[in-house]
Structure 1
Amino acid sequence: MRRATSRNLCLSLLPAPSPERSDAPAAAVDGPRRQLALQFAAVLAVLSLAWPYYGIRGEALPWPQTAFAIGTAALLLATLSRQPWWWRVVHALFTPLAWGVSLLQIDPAWFLLGFMLLLLVYRGALSGQIPLYFSSRQTVDALAALTRDRHDLRFLDLGAGIGSIVQPLAVARPDARFTGIENAPATWLVGRVRTAATANCAWRWGDLWQADLAAYDVVYAFLSPAPMAALWEKVVREMRPGSLFISNSFAVPGVTVTHQVDVGDRRHSRLFCYRV
């Protein structure tokens, strides 16, 4: 039984095989689960050796050394399972930092409050590996230029944040229709207030994976590398021929870009444009 459990745990840490057709919500959940499995495996490996050793000697477990040992083990497992570099850093520092913070004796209620506040703003990072990015004014200008010749424009922003794209575009193009979809409560509320007075801008609460893309001429996204392959499958499946998909900063892997635009802002943003 122990051998079978160890084998299943090791298999869960390996990179998942690429399916013929991506299941985006399942893929979004699989990432956090894999990282939790890595941390759990590191804790289990270190404590299974340290507790018997110090128990036999009748000594207390040295938590500073144990925390750093767990961080080292987690870093090794993350490296062997080919996790991105930022996850390796997180794994290496998580347990030592957790031990260090525990010495401050902060009331746990403050951590719960902090987590809830972060969840209100960064829900996408937890549920779909999609952090919150704010698009620059230069990006708005570049999108306005890209869509200037499209009459009866129907524009959709997936993961619209606080409306920093759709609101100014809707003001500049009263003849077009703009829609923003957001699922983080705090940013959705800010965007709702911001777009309330803009008649040609629809602000929606929802999951971008449930949005029907067929009704839109242009779909814009500023997400992360993680969901791009699955999102492209959705774009090809739902968007009409001749429509345009624009991704800010993150190209679709394995797909030739139709053209790209250097925005020229401080972040050196680049728009990758794909004609369906």
Structure 2
Amino acid sequence: MSATPQRQFALQGAAVILVLSLAWPYFGWQVGAIPWLETSLAIGGVAFIFATLSRQPWWWRVMHAGFMPLIWLTQGLNIEPGWFLLAFVLLLLVYRGALSGQVPLYLSNRQTVQALADLLAERGPGRFLDLGSGLGSTTVPLADHLPDSHFTGYENAPLTWLVGRVLSLGRPNIQWRWDDLWQAKLGDYDVVYAFLSPAPMEKLWHKVEAEMAPGSLFISNTFPVPGRAPDRVIEVDCTPPRPLYCYQR
């Protein structure tokens, strides 16, 4: 089972239906109220089992295990509904990519930026594309390190795009775009960099093969392309480890 949001909702729903289909008849026969704490924990346990059996990534398993118990905990806090709406809007503004493409917000650290700067300096001035550029934690410092190169960032979450746009002001070698990464024309760039998640890597590689020119370079932070051996792996000295997988076209 793939880790699409629709499949995850279906998995959590199956756990709810299974547990409640047993709990309601049992406690109805006993003429007692359903113990919602224990029931929510049971739903979380069943959802965890379902996620494990369907080979979901570990973070989905944790989310499934904790989802219903957290709902039970939250409903007892008497929080006004407006706060939930505000939290949802803010999360959507920042983590839109996680919902639409299973790509959470990752920020590149300074060690990774330095490794990329060294690699780009070896290649000489060129055109660099950051797919899912977030707050600009990669694009902005690279543009400062390498003023003779041109840098483009694609980001589709409104709030993170806005922060990155502000941080990129005053740097003429940066183009900051609010757009979906799948709309990028990879053939326009010498180096394409992505720090996404395992979910889109296979599809992205097909796009790389179809569009990137011979001699160009595709770099994936942390997540290798499935079934494709990288031409070079740069081990970045940081914790947790974030290797750069380099694929020469």
Matched with 1:45 is: 18
In structure 2, distance between residues paired with 1:184 and 1:167: 17
Question: Partner letter of residue 78 of structure 1?
Answer: A
Matched with 2:191 is: 218
For residue 121 of structure 1, the aligned residue among 76, 94, 106 is 94
Shift of 1:53: 2.6
Q: TM-score, normalised by structure 2?
A: 0.94
Shift of 1:63: 1.3
- Superposed CA deviations along residues 194-232 of structure 1, whole A, max 9, x for unmatched, are 112111110000110111101001000111111111111
In structure 2, distance between residues paired with 1:82 and 1:103: 33
1:139 correspondence with 2:73: no
Unaligned runs of 5+ in 2: none
Matched with 1:83 is: 56
Matched with 2:76 is: 103
CA 268–56 in structure 1, closer or farther in 2 if over 3 Å, else same: closer
CA 211–96 in structure 1, closer or farther in 2 if over 3 Å, else same: same
Question: Partner letter of residue 189 of structure 1?
Answer: L
Matched with 2:217 is: 244
Matched with 1:230 is: 203
Matches within 5 A, 1:153-168: 153-168=126-141
Q: 47-56 vs 121-130, which deviates more?
A: 47-56
In structure 2, distance between residues paired with 1:135 and 1:145: 15
Shift of 1:172: 2.7
Runs of 4+ in 1 over 3 A off after TM superposition: 149-152
For residue 208 of structure 1, the aligned residue among 181, 184, 205 is 181
Q: TM-score, normalised by structure 1?
A: 0.85
Matched with 1:63 is: 36
Question: Partner letter of residue 183 of structure 1?
Answer: N
Shift of 1:157: 0.3
Shift of 1:174: 2.5
In structure 2, distance between residues paired with 1:86 and 1:172: 35
Shift of 1:73: 1.8
Question: Partner letter of residue 105 of structure 1?
Answer: N
In structure 1, distance between residues paired with 2:171 and 2:11: 47
Shift of 1:67: 1.3
For residue 47 of structure 2, the aligned residue among 74, 79, 88 is 74
Unaligned runs of 5+ in 1: 1-14, 17-29
CA 84–275 in structure 1, closer or farther in 2 if over 3 Å, else same: same
Question: Partner letter of residue 225 of structure 2?
Answer: V
- Superposed CA deviations along residues 79-127 of structure 1, whole A, max 9, x for unmatched, are 2222222222221221112111111111121111112112211111222
Identity over aligned residues, as a percent?
61
Aligned length: 249
Question: Partner letter of residue 40 of structure 1?
Answer: G
Matched with 1:199 is: 172
Question: Secondary structure of 1:147's partner?
Answer: helix
